[in-house]
A and B are shown apart, each in its own frame.
Chain A
């Protein structure tokens, strides 16, 4: 039963390596919480937006908060972090109505599976705006 907290503004660092490896960029998922979770005062626009996926187990979407790792291991066999997140929602490419709703309400409700209550978009619609930054392809997986 998942909600994804998504960074809505860029953080930047003068050092390009730290900027890539450390800074959250607009659209990067930050944390995943269950449906019942309530968010704090700062976990909303302008810093964040929330994508709600009613009925989807948290474990199914945790992969979206993984970092992107180096392709090759270092001398000690470790795959170091290359980028803060592997996945990023292409928020600015979303339909204007979706952006307006995120700006005004701070959230979108995404229908997955047989969810029958009100929703804004389906997962099939939204996943096409979820970019894998390593492969530079959009998500095709179902939830």
Chain B
């Protein structure tokens, strides 16, 4: 069984720091995890003094497998993970300007609990998490979850939160991208620009390949496009919010079977009867980009489907790491589950009944 080898990444070089940037970690640990190392390479990111990591990261040149993979994360048992909003102070964040932030070409990879931001854009194709490469493999598993991903206004093409594109159409059906519990916002075309600037929150394009993506319980806001399946017929998309997006949900074909329960304030979603269009959401503070749901919300709260036993991507928490309420609960749509740890008397009647049934 592979051993987790944990290295501490801290731009402030606090006690026990191995690397002061994620980029240096990648350079230092790069190698064959499947051979003698038999390793899960873990970058545990910290921010002990409030300094952002400002060097763009490329992840390539590794040898990985399903059990010997790369994991980049903030450990929720420490204090360096965001609270579901983009935070400064002692919260780890990767902030770059005029560049892609994370460009990966390895296919056994997990990116969990980071804050990633592009502060300015000066060219096309500047993406927070990107894989636009030739030679996608036949199999692999990429998990992108619990992240807060933030962009800016752009006059350039393909300024995106998560942008995945199989240029050579070689990705196989056992290559899967699991994108869930993320908040993605601010990938906005400049005023008056056409939506086909492709300023998008989450864009998956398998091209003519066979790889698949699962977009579950993300909140995407203030983007030209919300969630996209540009290849068509490669994405199952469930429980997502697209808020203040010019095109909330877009596919060049059809969404995969099982798609549904997506919500938007726009007039179109994924075409499923369980979708909710033209909704009014009550976020804690959308103006300041806090997309946690308020208890008064009527757009997303309690309208999702429970994915704790999903056949492709079972999970049971939200972006804050809070339990969504167990196997019998009616989930909220979006990255946040309204805090179910509140005592039943403080919950809405519907949630109170759920609470009593589940706990």
Partner-B contacts on A (CB < 8 A)? 5, 7, 11-14, 17-19, 21-24, 30-33, 37-43, 47-48, 65, 67, 74, 76-78, 80-81, 84
Contacts and interface: CB of A to CB of B under 8 A. Distances in A.
B24 A5 contact: yes
A13 B28 contact: no
B330 interface: no
Contacts of A84: 58, 60-61
B105 interface: yes
A24 B18 CA distance: 18
Contacts of B133: 80
B167 interface: yes
Contacts of A11: 27, 30-31, 61
B27 A38 contact: no
Interface in B17-74: 17-21, 23-24, 27-28, 30-32, 55, 58, 60-63
Nearest to B8: A40
B13 interface: yes
B61 A40 contact: no
Tell me which of B16, B27, B28, B133 has the highest count of chain A C-beta atoms within 10 A of its own C-beta: B27
B152 to A, nearest CB: 20
B167 A30 contact: no
Contact of B24 (A12, A43, A81): A43
A7 B133 CA distance: 25
Interface residues of B, number: 31
Contacts of A30: 23-24, 27
5 contacts: A13-B61, A23-B61, A31-B24, A37-B20, A81-B58
Contact of B19 (A18, A19, A43): A43
A43 to B, nearest CB: 6
A95 B249 CA distance: 60
B354 to A, nearest CB: 46
B60 A22 contact: yes
A81 B132 CA distance: 11
Contacts of B20: 33, 37-40, 43
A69 to B, nearest CB: 12
B73 to A, nearest CB: 18
Given A5-B24, A22-B105, A40 B18 contact: yes
Contacts of A80: 133-134
Given A13-B61, A42-B7, A84-B61, A31 B23 contact: yes
A30 B28 CA distance: 10
Contacts of B124: 77-78
B55 A24 contact: no
Contact of A7 (B27, B32, B105): B27
Contacts of A18: 60-61, 105
A42 B19 contact: yes
Contact of B21 (A13, A31, A38): A31
Nearest to B53: A31
B203 interface: no
B55 A31 contact: yes
Contacts of B19: 40, 42-43
B10 interface: yes
Contacts of A47: 28
Q: Which of B17, B20, B32, B133 has the most CB of A within 10 A?
A: B20
B125 interface: yes
- Give the 10 A-B residue pairs with the shortest CB-CB distance, closest first: A22-B61, A22-B60, A23-B61, A40-B17, A42-B18, A30-B27, A11-B30, A38-B13, A40-B19, A40-B20
Contacts of A48: 24, 27-28
